[in-house]
């Protein structure tokens, strides 16, 4: 079986959720499948350190091109060239005109169900991406032979909109990297100096994507800061919006502002240390299809506050303090509750360590591989039936001539 895996963004330096999922799938398929041939189609880039060559895995580097051009023109050409039996597109979209059997990972349908998450804060790249997905995805969903999504919560949302997908939509959970399970604290002084981190801090990921709920999280920190004698600083990693404090309504004290720090994008080999040395991790999104950072924080041994909506209760279970993400005062109360109660914090850490046992990339990769195998058997059966029908027609014609 010749399997193609779309990974066009995997060589970019600043990797995000869908990139990490595709990378972990590839790494774990390398561990469990010594027989099938894999062709990983990537757009040329600067960061290929994550990839380790192996006998049955072939890297196909292509020239750079805009996202939609690469996917609709460059990728199909390469797939045909390498005679791929099954193509797995890993990031919500896929070529429209390619006839090869398709597996699609549909992480979410936020861009289809609710356009409130596109606003003045969105970058041009985000806007173009959302419109492209709104155009492509409905057709791809009809075409795909199998669709993978990442939580039961997201599956319910998808089926509510597209009930006819029920027979081909499967849930395969994400997981967290092993780097969060074996954190080398000896490297922390270097990371601490690089980002000028305080001895104690609250940690979160913050960017301009509206679903990440940064305005309410910042408002919550403001409330906590005003009501606490010695508040911990707030460290936010990822891509900060240029007008962070304009996101807040009402007065915002200089004291609070001085204790909020964006440190920008953090490399994958550094971020486990930021989790592990924080006092609390906040992940109060408005909408997530899974929420890998929840598992990362739990694996790193940090108490977690997360939202009581979308997939987050499903993933965290009882191992996090759940709050209403649209109520900053509730998030603020959760911050104080955990930081003021060491027993509660320790209990959440203990439950988190137990919860992560449910998730493993090796399990996820095995389920994906089973989907490939079933699909390939269907292809062989279909080809065999087609051959038999042609043979029967040929025999019928010969008999008619007699």
* Tens-place pLDDT, residues 169-181: 999 999 999 999 9
Contact 100, 17 (CB under 8 A): no
Tell me if residue 87 falls in helix, strand or coil. Answer: strand
Question: What does DSSP assign to residue 318?
Answer: T
Positions in the chain short of pLDDT 50: 117-120
Pair of tokens at residue 396: 């019928």
CB 264 within 8 Å of CB 239: yes
3-state DSSP helix/strand/coil % of the chain, to nearest 5: 50, 15, 35
Can you give the pLDDT at residue 201?
98
Q: Tell me which fold the domain 2-175+360-389 belongs to.
A: Rossmann fold (3.40.50)
Query: What Å distances lie between residue 232 and 272, 330, 362, CA to CA?
Result: 20, 18, 37
Region(s) of the chain under CATH 3.40.50.2000: 2-175+360-389, 178-358
Token code pair at residue 3:
């399997």
> Can you give the pLDDT at residue 286?
95
Give start and end residues of each alpha helix (H) in 227-360.
Answer: 254-258, 271-276, 292-299, 312-316, 328-339, 342-355
d(CA 272, CA 280): 13
**178-358: what CATH class?**
alpha beta
Measured CA distances, 158 to 127, 138, 170, 340 (Å) = 22, 11, 11, 40
């Amino acid at each position: 079986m010749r399997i193609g895996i779309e990974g066009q963004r995997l060589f970019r330096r600043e990797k995000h959720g869908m990139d990490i999922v595709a990378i972990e799938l590839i790494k774990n398929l390398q561990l469990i499948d010594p027989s099938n041939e894999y062709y990983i189609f990537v757009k040329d880039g600067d960061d290929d350190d994550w990839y380790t060559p192996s006998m049955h895995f072939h890297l196909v580097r292509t020239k750079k091109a805009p996202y939609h051009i690469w996917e609709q023109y460059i990728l199909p050409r390469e797939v045909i060239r390498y005679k791929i039996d099954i193509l797995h597109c890993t990031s919500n979209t896929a070529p429209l005109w390619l006839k090869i059997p398709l597996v699609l990972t549909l992480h979410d349908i936020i861009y289809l169900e609710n356009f409130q998450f596109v606003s003045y804060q969105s970058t041009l790249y985000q806007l173009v991406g959302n419109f492209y997905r709104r155009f492509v995805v409905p057709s791809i969903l009809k075409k795909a032979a199998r669709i993978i999504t990442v939580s039961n919560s997201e599956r319910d949302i998808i089926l509510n909109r597209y009930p006819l997908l029920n027979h081909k939509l499967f849930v395969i959970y994400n997981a967290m990297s092993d780097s969060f399970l074996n954190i080398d604290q000896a490297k922390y002084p270097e990371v601490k100096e690089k980002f000028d981190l305080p001895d104690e801090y609250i940690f979160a990921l913050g960017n301009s994507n509206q679903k990440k709920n940064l305005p309410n999280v910042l408002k919550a920190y403001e409330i906590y800061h005003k009501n606490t004698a010695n508040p911990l600083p707030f460290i936010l990693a990822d891509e900060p919006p240029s007008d962070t404090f304009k996101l807040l309504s009402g007065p915002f004290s200089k004291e609070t502002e001085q204790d909020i720090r964006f440190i920008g994008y953090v490399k994958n080999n550094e971020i486990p240390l930021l989790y592990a040395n924080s006092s609390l991790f906040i992940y109060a999104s408005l909408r997530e299809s899974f929420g890998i950072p929840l598992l990362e924080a739990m694996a790193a041994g940090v108490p977690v506050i997360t939202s009581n909506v979308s997939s987050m209760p499903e993933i965290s279970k009882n191992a996090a303090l759940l709050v209403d993400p649209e109520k900053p005062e509730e998030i603020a109360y959760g911050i104080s509750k955990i930081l003021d109660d060491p027993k509660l914090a320790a209990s959440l850490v203990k439950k988190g360590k137990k919860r992560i046992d449910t998730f493993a990339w090796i399990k996820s990769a095995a389920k994906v591989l089973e989907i490939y195998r079933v699909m390939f058997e269907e292809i062989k059966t279909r080809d065999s039936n087609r051959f038999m029908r042609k043979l029967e027609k040929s025999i019928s014609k010969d008999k008619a001539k007699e």
